[in-house]
């Protein structure tokens, strides 16, 4: 499915389920559900999540900064006679990285950011190290690999559970539910999802192919059902409360007029 459909369906269904279960909806919970709806595709450099996190404009700026840094490093090495001739090779490598395509460059940025957070984890706490390690691993994972498995749900849910205990907010419910719905939606494609790697068995209900008419049809049916569920979870109760408030006010008005 497309990132737009994952975003609407996973977030919408999660919020509706929480509302119908009486858990209530909070801004942090909504934000976690929103991120979790796209998080399984973090192993795809051109996914909606990474396109929004690392847009083309930012990629261009990073490439220009990298090229400028490489040229500046070579000039500094030439003037200071620093680590010659290997410093020239390092500088040229920095400049050459600017010519790689956006997909590969996003992977390199993910790996570099993960390494930085992993290094910061020694001083900043375990959260930096955990997130850094996840970014580094996800930057080299094949698409629909570990992140599209039960292990991915368990890892993300465990991290959110630990955070929930510190924040005193049940964020893991919204996060794990939205993440799981993403995998369920991908199960409707012909590729399916391999829930228990390295076991070859896949959860697959081949109803659609993304980019084709079958994909358009199934995705719009899922979006429509999500909107119906949202209406039932949020609009209908609000309408009932509004009617109750109107009856209360009219009864009060009748008492005052007597």
Residue from 72, 4, 69, 6 nearest 36 by CA: 6
The pTM (predicted TM-score) of the whole model is: 0.78
Position with higher pLDDT, 86 vs 224: 224
Run of H or E including 30: helix 27-38
What average pLDDT does the segment 116-132 reach?
A: 71
Cα gap 238→240, rounded to integer Å: 5
The per-residue pLDDT for range 193-204, each reduced to its tens digit, is 999 988 889 999
Query: What gap in Å lies between CA 69 and CA 82, rounded to an integer?
Result: 15
Q: What are the C-alpha distances in Å from 111 to residues 136, 139, 142, 172, 179?
A: 4, 6, 14, 26, 23
pLDDT in tens, 214-254: 889 999 999 999 999 998 888 887 665 555 545 555 565 55
Among 4-8, 31-35, 184-188, 249-253, name the one with the lowest average pLDDT. 249-253
The more confident residue out of 43 and 75 is: 75
Return all residues near 91 (Cβ < 8 A) that are at least 6 apart.
Answer: 70, 71, 73, 74, 77
Please tell me the distance from the alpha carbon of residue 19 to that of residue 237, in angstroms, as a whole number: 10
pLDDT averaged over every residue in the chain: 84
pLDDT at 46: 76
d(C-alpha 186, C-alpha 150), whole Å: 13
**Per-residue confidence (pLDDT) for residue 130, from 0 to 100:** 67
Higher per-residue confidence, 102 vs 221: 221
- The lowest-confidence range among 53-57, 86-90, 227-231 is 53-57
In this prediction, residue 250 carries a pLDDT of: 57
134-175 pLDDT, tens per residue?
778 777 777 777 889 999 999 888 888 887 777 777 888 999
d(CA 169, CA 21): 16
pLDDT at 122: 62
Percent above pLDDT 90 for the chain: 34
């Amino acid at each position: 499915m497309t990132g737009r459909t994952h975003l609407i369906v996973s977030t919408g269904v999660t919020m509706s389920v929480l509302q119908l279960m009486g858990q209530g909806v909070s801004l942090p919970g909504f934000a976690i559900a929103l991120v979790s709806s796209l998080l399984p595709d973090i192993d795809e450099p051109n996914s909606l999540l990474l396109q929004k996190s690392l847009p083309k404009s930012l990629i261009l700026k990073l490439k220009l900064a990298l090229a400028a840094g490489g040229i500046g490093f070579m000039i500094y090495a030439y003037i200071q006679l620093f680590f010659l001739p290997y410093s020239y090779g390092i500088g040229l490598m920095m400049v050459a990285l600017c010519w790689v395509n956006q997909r590969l460059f996003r992977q390199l940025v993910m790996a570099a950011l993960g390494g930085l957070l992993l290094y910061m984890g020694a001083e900043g706490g375990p959260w930096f190290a955990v997130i850094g390690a996840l970014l580094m691993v996800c930057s080299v994972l094949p698409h629909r690999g570990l992140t599209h498995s039960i292990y991915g749900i368990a890892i993300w849910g465990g991290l959110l559970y630990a955070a929930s205990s510190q924040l005193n907010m049940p964020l893991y419910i919204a996060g794990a539910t939205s993440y799981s719905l993403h995998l369920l939606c991908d199960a409707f494609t012909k590729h399916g999802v391999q829930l228990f790697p390295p076991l070859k068995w896949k959860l697959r209900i081949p109803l659609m192919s993304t980019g084709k008419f079958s994909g358009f049809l199934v995705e719009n049916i899922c979006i429509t059902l999500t909107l119906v569920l949202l209406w039932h979870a949020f609009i209908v109760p609000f309408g009932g409360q509004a009617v109750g408030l109107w009856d209360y006010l009219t009864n009060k008005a009748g008492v005052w007029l007597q």
